[in-house]
Every structure is written in C-alpha cells, then in structure tokens.
Amino acid sequence: MDSDEVISWTRLIVLFWAMGIAAWLDHKERRVPNQFWITWSKPAIFLWFLDLMNSEAEWYVFATAAGVIAYASVAVIGRPTLKDIFSGSKLDIAVCTWYLVGIAGVIQGLLMHTDESIISVLVGDASDSATLWWSTFAVFIPILLVDMAWRLRLIHGGADCKGLMWVAILVPSWSSIPVIFPQAMDNAVIAMPPAIALLVWGGLTFLILPIIMVIKNIKDGNTNLKLIWHAERMNIDKVIDNHVWLLSSIAEMPNGEKKVVHKTRAPRKTPTKEKLTAEINILKENGVEEVWVTRKYPLLVFLWPAIIPMFLLGGPMAYLMPLMGL
C-alpha cells in the first residue's frame, strides 16, 4: 500500500467515525456544537495538506486550499469585521490573513492556468499542475452550494450544512477516497463533488423512511392514508419530551362543535415550548389521549449510512446519466 492509498483509507475512516458521532449527537440532542467541527477539521486539513505535499503542489495550490478552508470557516467562527480587526482580535486578524493568502493563491492559479480551463481538466487534456490546482479550486463549488442551500432554507439544519462543508474539505475529490467498484465512475464524463454525492445518497436513503412508516402504522392499526406514510400516533403525555411536530389540534366547527383535526404537514416554524404546552393542554381538556405526530429526522442520521454506497459505488450521477442517455 503506497502513501496515496494510506491517505485515502485514513480519510474514509475519519469520515465514517466523525459522521457517526455527529449523527448520534444530532439524533440525541438535535444539535452538534461548533467545537465538534473545529476539532474534526484538524485531521481533515492535515490530510488535505499531506495529500498536496505528496503531489508536490506549488505554493499557490496550498494557498487556494487555505482560501477554501477560510470560506468554510465562516459557518463555525463567523465572518471577521473591521471593528473586530481594529480592536485587536487575534482570531479575526488570523482569519483575515487567511483570506488574503487564499485570494493570492486563486489569483496566481488563474494567472498560471488560464490557458488550461476546467473543461480541459474534465476531458483529461490538462497538465498535472493545472489539474491539481483546478481540482483544489473546485472545492469552492460544493461549499458554496451548501452555503446557498442553507441561506435559502433548502437545508434547515446548521449542523447538516457544517457537516457537508466538512466533508468537502476532508474529501475534496473522488481520488481522495477509495471506491470499491469504480467502473461507472471511470466512464463518467462529469461527476458531482463527493460532498454533494453524499447528500444525494442520503436523500435516497431518506426515501426508505415512508415504506418503514407505512408498515409500522399498519401493524399498529393506524390506517389514515394521509398520515401513515410520514407520521405516527403517540401518547399525548410523551409529546413534550420527544423531538416531534404535533399534527393534531382542536378545531371549532360552524355549529359550535369542537372536533379533533390532523394536519398533513409539519408547521413551517417550530412552535415554542410554551405554545406547544398550551396546544397539548387544549387537546387534553377535550379528552384527547393520543395524537398524530411526525418526527424531526436530522439529516446527519441519513448522511452517515450514505457513506456506504458512496464508498462502494462513488457518485450516483455516474449511474443516472447512462439511464438518461448521457
């Protein structure tokens, strides 16, 4: 086993171990502290720079990688401000310097490789140095996409976004980790970045959930066709202590009669504990003992097992594109 393989397998072990811990924390506490990502960023950065050293990268490739990391760091330590810099904040001064180094690396890389575009890299016509720099610069793409998805509320969990950004740094390209069955990846013209591929595999894993919910509800005797695929019945006294959205409520009919109704979708905004308690009390006053709820499933719980198909098969686009005739 050569040094490249050692780094690749180490990355995979770090990926599986760290994402497993993050998934457990997200499941139990519904939050993953920023300090967790800061701690695990150290082996990710070390392995990336070790990989670049092994590839005999020029200084501007390291600087570009530093710029990528600086951009991702905003998610956990915030963006430095002029006020903080002038006040003498060592952290903000260091991050600002980090940005400047990254900008210098990007500018130098563009000056060195403008004659070899990213398209030439994709078709395999670029030089090794150009391929290395463009592949390093391209790590900006998944981090930017994840950042935009969070800002547009396409991904709701902050820990989910930070986790995907961390994956982008740990696994900057498909050559960074071993893929057991690489045939489809080798024949693919374009492959989505590993971090985005993990998100897609996680989404496909999530599609299994409705099947499980339908089987569970039918077994428990729940046959509401609008709810059984994503919700379940729960004792009303257990709602407040579980990570769930309450779907049941009391509605007053035009004739003055009160009736229990069940929403088919979770609320857009999670209610405060006080508001949830008030809703539960109203249900209890009307003799309701069981309610319909839908669980708050953290994305990290689905991203962790999604590492397995990514490790075995690579990116899902390599299999979907031939089906679309591409």
Structure tokens at 135: 């592949």
b (16+ CB within 10 A) / e for 174-188: bebbebeeeebbeeb
- Same-domain pairing of 308 and 185: yes
- Same-domain pairing of 171 and 193: no
What is the C-alpha to C-alpha distance for residues 195 and 31, in angstroms, rounded to an integer? 20
pLDDT of residue 321: 74
- Same-domain pairing of 131 and 147: yes
What is the C-alpha to C-alpha distance for residues 25 and 29, in angstroms, rounded to an integer? 6
**Domain termination site, one of 145, 177, 209:** 177
pLDDT of residue 37: 95
Q: By the 8 A CB rule, do 299 and 146 touch? A: no
DSSP letters, 200-261, are HHHHHHHTTHHHHHHHHHHHTT---TTTTTT-EEEEGGGGGGSSEEE-EEEEE-TTS-EEEE
Q: How many domains does the chain have?
A: 2
- Same-domain pairing of 63 and 145: yes
- Same-domain pairing of 242 and 300: yes
What is the C-alpha to C-alpha distance for residues 217 and 230, in angstroms, rounded to an integer? 10
**Domain termination site, one of 177, 196, 218:** 177
- Same-domain pairing of 269 and 280: yes
What is the C-alpha to C-alpha distance for residues 243 and 204, in angstroms, rounded to an integer? 23
For residue 302, CA distances in Å to 19, 24, 144, 147 come to: 10, 11, 22, 19
- The pTM for the full model equals 0.83
- Same-domain pairing of 14 and 148: yes
Per-residue pLDDT of the chain (326 residues; tens, 9 = 90+): 678 899 999 999 999 999 999 999 998 888 899 999 999 999 999 999 999 999 999 999 999 999 999 999 888 887 777 776 677 677 777 778 888 999 999 999 999 888 776 666 666 667 888 889 999 999 999 999 999 988 887 777 788 899 999 999 999 999 899 999 988 887 776 778 999 999 999 988 888 888 999 999 999 888 888 888 989 999 999 998 888 889 998 887 777 788 888 888 877 777 888 888 898 899 898 888 899 999 888 889 999 999 999 999 998 888 877 776 65
**Domain termination site, one of 128, 149, 177:** 177
Q: Where are the beta strands (DSSP E) in the chain?
A: 232-235, 244-246, 248-252, 258-262, 290-295
Look at residues 322, 310, 300 and name the one whose alpha carbon lies nearest to residue 20: 300
User: What is the domain extent for residue 310?
Assistant: 179-326
Classified as helix, coil or strand, 64 is helix
| Burial environment of residue 39 by CB neighbours within 10 A (0 to 12, 13 to 18, 19 or more) | exposed
- Same-domain pairing of 119 and 243: no
- Same-domain pairing of 84 and 199: no
What is the C-alpha to C-alpha distance for residues 51 and 41, in angstroms, rounded to an integer? 15
- Same-domain pairing of 183 and 170: no
- Same-domain pairing of 291 and 210: yes
Look at residues 79, 315, 18, 14 and name the one whose alpha carbon lies nearest to residue 183: 315
- Same-domain pairing of 149 and 206: no
